């Protein structure tokens, strides 16, 4: 039996892969949907479409693992890539890993199939993970390899009777997980086109957001958010609550120009309410407990971590090295942060920690004993001495 395992989202690209693989000679088609926090209706829709198309379908619930082992490390690294919290990219390694594990469980898989295009980043992320965990199984990417367009795929799906949700007029491509939601395609590809309200589902508009501010308190232990307003949650439940809180106030809408790995500059829209909120709180607490040298160096480490995560290189040794430093810092990122949410904005209004490197007495302008100001005279006189000497040489 010639079996293909399709990593299946239920969307246009992966749906057309099913009849295409049958035409290519595969007489057994398995599909696997990895649940990393998509809406329940999307998981149900993928399952129903797989049933209609007659595949051997599987759903892997990876939400708890994604929250604990992927989203929380992103918080530790303040993971931001040129303006948005990394969301799609950090889910792809887990999806690939889970698909490889499912292939071994099914047995006899002759090829992996994914629906990534040749213009996006996911082809790199997915295939890296598959080759890491199942290097002996070939990988097929029909949309990329056949240079298919969305319009062709829609026509083909209609011709063969494959169930799809897109039309030529409304052609949004949407990807969701616990950490964020991305929307692209159609008129959104025009950088001058204002995103219509219909593309947003997780965040309230400015008009619909509450007219009363809300202050939310987060508690962290070793860099991990563990409680909201005094109630402790599992990682999965905490992310769910954070998304709801921030989304209600319209926090987390992001519209950026993104530089893809292949060199394309594209316009991307994201909704990342919980991620935006948690990253801001974590960063505020981290600033309270780290030294100047640690903060300065960690900015570089965080940027490198984001670059590796964006490329999907989750198991690259360098990523492990970065995690070692980040993890060392997180041992002191314990305490509480209060955040004020109001009309699509957030503001840090308080932070406290037993590891705080802060002395109110020393910082106060009214204190004259903890730090005697006159002691600074000598330090100030030598400040910039080399540049002053250089200027004198130039005059002579």
Q: Catalytic amino acids?
A: 13, 92, 122, 173
The rounded distance, in Å, linking the Cα atoms of 112 and 98 is 12
Distance from first CA to last CA of the chain, Å, rounded?
88
Those residues with Cβ within 8 angstroms of residue 64's Cβ, 6 or more apart along the chain or in another chain: 234, 235, 236
**CA max distance for the chain:** 88
User: Which has the closest alpha carbon to 278: 250, 238, 327?
Assistant: 238
Q: Which pairing describes strands 56-61 and 28-35: parallel, antiparallel, or unpaired?
A: parallel
* 3-state SS class at 166: coil
Q: Virtual CA dihedral for 87, 88, 93, 95, nearest 10 degrees?
A: 120
Q: Is 112 helix (H, G, I), strand (E, B) or coil?
A: strand
Q: Which two tokens stand for residue 76?
A: 């530790």
d(CA 230, CA 125): 38
Helix %, strand %, coil % of the chain (to 5): 45, 20, 35
């Amino acid at each position: 039996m010639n079996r293909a395992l399709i990593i299946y989202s239920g969307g246009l690209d992966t749906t057309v892969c099913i009849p295409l693989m049958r035409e290519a000679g595969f007489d057994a088609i398995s599909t696997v949907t990895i649940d990393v926090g998509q809406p329940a209706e999307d998981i149900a829709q993928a399952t129903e479409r797989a049933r209609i198309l007659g595949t051997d379908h599987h759903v892997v619930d990876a939400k708890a693992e994604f929250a604990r082992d992927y989203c929380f490390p992103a918080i530790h690294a303040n993971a931001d890539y040129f303006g948005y919290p990394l969301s799609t990219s950090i889910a792809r390694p887990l999806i690939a890993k889970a698909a490889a594990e499912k292939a071994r469980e099914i047995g006899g898989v002759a090829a992996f199939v994914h629906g990534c295009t040749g213009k996006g980043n996911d082809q790199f992320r997915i295939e890296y993970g598959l080759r890491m965990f199942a290097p002996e199984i070939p990988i097929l990417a029909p949309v990329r390899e056949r240079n298919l367009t969305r319009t062709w795929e829609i026509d083909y799906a209609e011709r063969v009777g494959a169930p799809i949700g897109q039309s030529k007029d409304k052609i949004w491509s949407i990807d969701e997980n616990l950490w964020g939601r991305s929307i692209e395609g159609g008129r959104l590809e025009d950088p001058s086109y204002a995103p219509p309200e219909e593309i947003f589902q997780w965040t309230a508009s400015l008009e619909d957001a509450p007219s009363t501010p809300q202050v939310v308190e987060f508690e962290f232990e070793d860099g991990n958010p563990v409680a909201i307003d005094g109630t402790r949650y599992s990682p999965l439940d905490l992310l769910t609550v954070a998304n709801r809180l921030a989304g209600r106030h319209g926090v987390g809408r992001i519209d950026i120009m993104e530089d893809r790995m292949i060199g394309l500059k594209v316009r991307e829209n994201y909704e990342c309410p919980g991620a935006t909120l948690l990253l801001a709180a974590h960063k505020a607490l981290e600033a309270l407990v780290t030294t100047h040298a640690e903060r300065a160096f960690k900015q570089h480490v965080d940027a490198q971590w984001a670059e590796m995560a964006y490329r999907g290189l989750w198991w690259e040794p360098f990523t492990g090295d970065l995690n070692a430093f980040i993890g060392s810092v997180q041992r002191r990122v314990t305490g509480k942060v209060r955040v004020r949410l109001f009309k699509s904005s957030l503001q840090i209004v308080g932070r406290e920690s037993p590891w705080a490197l802060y002395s109110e007495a020393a910082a106060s302008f009214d204190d004259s004993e903890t730090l005697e100001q006159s002691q600074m005279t000598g330090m100030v006189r030598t400040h910039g001495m080399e540049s002053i000497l250089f200027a004198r040489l130039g005059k002579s």
